[in-house]
């Protein structure tokens, strides 16, 4: 659910762009440092960006009958950490705007705040919290995916409500309207994406354990599994 | 065929050889006009200009353009409707100036989307990324974006092949199977992307990659006539909109 080009008034478009800027600049600095220290990271980060983009091409069967596509920001935040996701998310949103006509250029800032900043941070927070209270990798990933999706959806609804307040009930009324309209697709999508995340990480634990260990998601010494 | 219709259109467009900076100026100008000018007649003029330029001189297939507009159209329709419906004590109703508000909102958004699409269907990402360098985006970031652009087609092709194989094996026959297959598909694409990145890195390291990925950008010279026409067209658009509004 990307905000389409021209949907936000100019002042809001500029405001959200300014709000997104520090996170994107921080992410860019982080990426620039990583690439300077280890040039080969350029390819790994590019691959991560391409994966995030391609993930949106996976159609997810929804419980309500329609099909939606996952946003993947929760998985990205767990795999690559939120600061890096702020930059990768921005690149992916730019590509989606220019390759799929999904989102826009003046609304890029607002979409970056929802998809590449709030979503990944909320998802990562949920992941860390789940791990801290003793949850394993898979419950953590489920929480990250669901929370990232829901946080993104609530943020987008809030952005729309601020820009288009209701004639009678104002911003609060508009927020309720946008939340309930988009809940029809976004809440089932969030649960579906959580499930997809669990299946994804289960497959990764079986087939790509060394990579997960290198990313620090699994302890190096596996338990009796082998 | 790369698999993304807008990208295919961009490579095949007759404006492909024009300077990306020129096209950025034109589309950027139209986007700003779509946002800042009053919906009537500004948005209508901007939308028409973008569509006529894309389908006319730039020779973008009408079908591609039409299909690409579907995504924003769905969002604009739902968003606009939601914003002009009010929920009061006596149930649902229209906002007082519902028609005008909806027209203005949808007009700005459609015109803006058409203007962005004009850029997207005439300028491949590979031409736009070097422009980011000129806007002082760090080289490392542009390189990551360039690798992303090049890898995503490889991954998309892999994704389609795997999905075809899964479908042929009844992988999407039930909801349960669909989820299992989608999870396996995402995992396969991710491990493939890591594998690709590692192999490319080894290949590049063998060729002495030390200072990043250097490629020779294509020289696409700017056209004075195009810039003059852009400036004149935008000026005419602004004055006409302000005169009528």
CATH class of A10-214: mainly alpha
ipTM above 0.85, yes or no: yes
What gap in Å lies between CA A90 and CA A73, rounded to an integer?
Answer: 11
What gap in Å lies between CA B24 and CA B31, rounded to an integer?
Answer: 10
Per-residue b/e over B96-131, b at no fewer than 16 CB within 10 Å?
eebeebbbbbbbbbbbbbbbbbbbbbbbbbbbbbbb
In this prediction the pTM is 0.92
The residue of B135, B150, B190, B213 whose CB has the most chain A CBs within 10 angstroms, and thus the best one to mutate to test that interface, is B190
- Beta carbons of B179 and A196 less than 8 Å apart: yes
Task: Identify which of B34, B148, B159 has the shortest CB distance to residue A46.
Answer: B148
What gap in Å lies between CA A128 and CA B185, rounded to an integer?
Answer: 26
Name every chain A residue with its beta carbon within 8 A of the beta carbon of B102. none
Chain A segment 92-121 residues within 8 A of B by beta carbon are 92, 94-95, 97-102, 104-106
* A213 touching chain B per CB within 8 A: no
Q: Where are the domains of chain A?
A: 10-214
Q: Where are the domains of chain B?
A: 5-123+219-244, 137-206
Written as tens digits, the pLDDT of chain A (226 aa) is 789 998 999 999 999 999 999 999 999 998 888 888 877 788 888 988 999 898 877 777 655 545 567 778 888 899 888 999 999 999 999 999 999 888 899 999 999 999 999 999 999 999 999 999 998 999 999 999 999 999 999 999 999 999 988 877 889 888 998 898 888 878 888 888 899 899 999 988 888 888 888 888 888 765 555 5
The residues facing A68 across adjacent strands are A60
């Amino acid at each position: 659910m990307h905000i389409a080009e021209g949907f936000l008034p100019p002042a809001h478009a500029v405001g959200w762009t300014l709000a997104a800027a520090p996170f994107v600049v921080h992410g860019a600095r982080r990426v620039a440092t990583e690439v300077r220290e280890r040039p080969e990271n350029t390819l790994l980060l590019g691959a991560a960006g391409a994966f995030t983009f391609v993930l949106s091409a996976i159609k997810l069967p929804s419980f309500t009958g329609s099909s939606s596509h996952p946003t993947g920001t929760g998985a990205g935040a767990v795999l690559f950490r939120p600061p890096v996701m702020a930059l990768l998310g921005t690149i992916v949103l730019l590509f989606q705007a220019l390759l799929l006509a999904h989102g826009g250029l003046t609304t890029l800032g607002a979409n970056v705040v929802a998809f590449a900043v709030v979503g990944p941070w909320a998802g990562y927070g949920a992941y860390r919290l789940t791990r801290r209270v003793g949850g394993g990798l898979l419950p953590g990933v489920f929480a990250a995916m669901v929370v990232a999706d829901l946080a993104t959806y609530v943020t987008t609804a809030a952005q729309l409500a601020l820009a288009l307040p209701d004639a009678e009930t104002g911003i609060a009324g508009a927020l309720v309207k946008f939340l309930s309209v988009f809940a029809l697709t976004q809440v089932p999508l969030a649960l579906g994406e959580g499930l997809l995340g669990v299946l994804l990480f289960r497959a990764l634990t079986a087939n790509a354990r060394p990579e997960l260990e290198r990313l620090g998601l699994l302890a190096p010494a596996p338990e009796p599994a082998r | 065929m790369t698999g993304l219709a807008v990208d295919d259109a961009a490579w095949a467009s007759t404006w492909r050889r024009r300077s990306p900076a020129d096209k950025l100026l034109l589309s950027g100008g139209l986007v700003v006009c779509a946002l800042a000018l009053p919906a009537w007649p500004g948005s209508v003029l901007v939308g028409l200009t973008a569509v006529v330029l894309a389908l006319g001189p730039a020779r973008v297939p009408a079908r591609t353009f039409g299909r690409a507009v579907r995504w924003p159209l769905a969002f604009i329709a739902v968003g606009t409707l939601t914003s002009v419906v009010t929920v009061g004590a006596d149930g649902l109703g229209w906002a007082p100036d519902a028609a005008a508000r909806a027209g203005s909102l949808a007009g700005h958004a459609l015109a803006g989307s058409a203007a962005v699409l004009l850029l997207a269907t005439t300028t491949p990402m590979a031409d736009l990324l070097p422009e980011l360098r000129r806007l002082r985006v760090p080289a490392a970031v542009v390189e990551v974006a360039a690798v992303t652009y090049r890898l995503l087609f490889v991954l998309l092709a892999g994704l389609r092949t795997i999905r075809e194989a899964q479908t042929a094996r009844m992988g999407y026959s039930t909801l349960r199977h669909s989820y299992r297959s989608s999870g396996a598909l995402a995992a396969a694409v991710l491990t493939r992307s890591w594998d690709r990145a590692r192999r490319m890195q080894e290949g590049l390291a063998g060729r002495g990659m030390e200072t990043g990925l250097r490629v020779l950008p294509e020289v696409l010279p700017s056209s004075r006539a195009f810039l003059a026409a852009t400036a004149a067209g935008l000026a005419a658009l602004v004055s006409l909109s302000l005169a009528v509004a």
